[in-house]
Amino acid sequence: MMGTASHSSNSSLRLLVFTVGGVKLAADAEQICSMLAYDQDDDCDITYWLHEMLSFGNREVVFRSPEILTVSLQETIYRIVIDQPEDIIYIAMNRIQPLPALVEPFSQKKGLWGAVALDEQIILLIDFLKLISITRNTGPNRFCMREKPSLQ
Amino acid sequence: MNFAEVACRLPLTHEYREIDMSVTEEPLKSDQILSEIKRLREQAKIMDGEETGVKLVIFSLSGDYYAFYGHEVREILPGGDIAWVPGAPAFMPGLINVRGDIESVVDIRGFLGLPESAVPNRMIALASCGSVNSGVLIDEMVDLLEILPSLIKPPLATLDGNVRELIAGELEYKGRNVTLLDLGKIFLKITL
């Protein structure tokens, strides 16, 4: 599941690539404190489901192999449930593209800040710290789900 | 045909009474000359490039014909995988990968008051206006043609105001009305 980095350099970014609801995302590995196995009985109030944070709306989201990422912000540990962590890759900075001008105003509100075209696929880059800040501002524990999405 | 040739071809009238407009059904010689001069000048103007043609990309959307200025369309792509972006509104299906460049795709039907399209494999017109690039979903590419700007008429006054502001003009193509869209205003509306 978790591959090794193909190469590393100062001008590259180490990314954790994963999928949620069919959307391929990647986050700076430096923002992630740890990755834990998801345990349905161990859900706490500061567990955020990423598809809720990103407002997937009516899109059907099925979690196939959920995992929890822990992220630290201002001395608080937040748990974010993602799905299908695939790999850790290094991406050269010059391969990262800003999101197109028409998309940026909407995507920035979800902590999405760039994209990478990789093997015909598009990977959206997500800033967890920004997303948690945005989510916190929308109301305390607004995204702590009591009814979990379907698991496969 | 120059002016001298035109003048030679016109019938000469020696009887002054025939110049009286009230008694002749034929157009006056001066009117004929003036008309021919104007026609020749218009023709010369076109040939001199004073009125150069504009390229238009005509496409169909929900059964109607629309157009963009040709210089605003970089290429037409077959509809492929569009990566949805969380948080994007319904009129923005997502992103496409164009030879390594990531471009947005927008569906402008809603802005034009058009219904959902029944076309299964829609195409993407990769458009550019100012500093903004984006793919625009179209049903079908119809034609690429060059016409004189004078053939583009102002938008119909009867159109809904919200739609009218996005229209640069109207023209006729093979007996059908074509609505020329103002891409800059459409992009501006999306970002507002």
Looking from the CA of B69 toward its CB, the CA atoms found within 13 Å total 15
Q: Inter-chain contact A54–B187, Cβ cutoff 8 Å? A: no
The Cα A80–Cα A82 span in angstroms is 6
**B54-191 sits in which CATH class?**
mainly beta
> Into how many domains does chain A fold?
1
Q: Is residue A7 part of a domain?
A: no
Q: Is residue A50 part of a domain?
A: yes
Q: What is the pLDDT of residues B35-73, one digit of tens each?
A: 777 777 666 655 565 668 899 999 999 999 999 999 999
User: Which of B85, B106, B133 comes nearest A112 by C-beta?
Assistant: B85
Helix (H, G, I), strand (E, B) or coil at A145: coil
CATH, residue A25: 2.30.30.40
Residue A100 has pLDDT above 50, yes or no: yes
How much is the average pLDDT of A112-118? 95
In chain A, residues with a C-beta closer than 8 Å to the C-beta of B127 are none
- In the block, tokens 């009474």 appear at B17
pLDDT value at position B131? Answer: 87
How much is the average pLDDT of B89-114? 94
ipTM for the complex shown: 0.82
Q: Is residue A106 part of a domain?
A: yes
pLDDT value at position B67? Answer: 97
The Cα B154–Cα B161 span in angstroms is 14
Report percent pLDDT > 70 for chain A.
Answer: 80
In chain B, residues with a C-beta closer than 8 Å to the C-beta of A82 are none
Q: Is residue A151 part of a domain?
A: no
In chain A, residues with a C-beta closer than 8 Å to the C-beta of B92 are 102-103, 106
- In the block, tokens 């006729």 appear at B172
Q: Is residue A48 part of a domain?
A: yes
Any idea what DSSP says for residue B130?
T
Residues B95, B103 contacting (CB under 8 angstroms): yes
How much is the average pLDDT of A50-64? 87
Q: Which two three-digit tokens encode residue A98?
A: 């800003």
CA angle B137, B76, A112 (to 5 degrees): 55
pLDDT value at position B31? Answer: 76
pLDDT value at position B106? Answer: 96
Q: Is residue A6 part of a domain?
A: no
pLDDT value at position B184? Answer: 94
- In the block, tokens 């710290």 appear at A129
Q: Is residue A152 part of a domain?
A: no
pLDDT value at position A33? Answer: 93
Q: Which segments of B87-174 are extended strands (E)? A: 94-98, 101-106, 123-129, 132-138, 140-147, 167-173
- The chain-wide mean pLDDT, for chain B, equals 83
Q: How far is A20 from chain B (nearest CA, A)?
A: 10
pLDDT value at position B14? Answer: 44
Chain B residue with CA closest to A51: the answer is B86
For chain B, what are the domain ranges?
A: 3-47, 54-191
Q: What is the pLDDT of residues B5-24, one digit of tens each?
A: 544 454 444 444 444 545 45
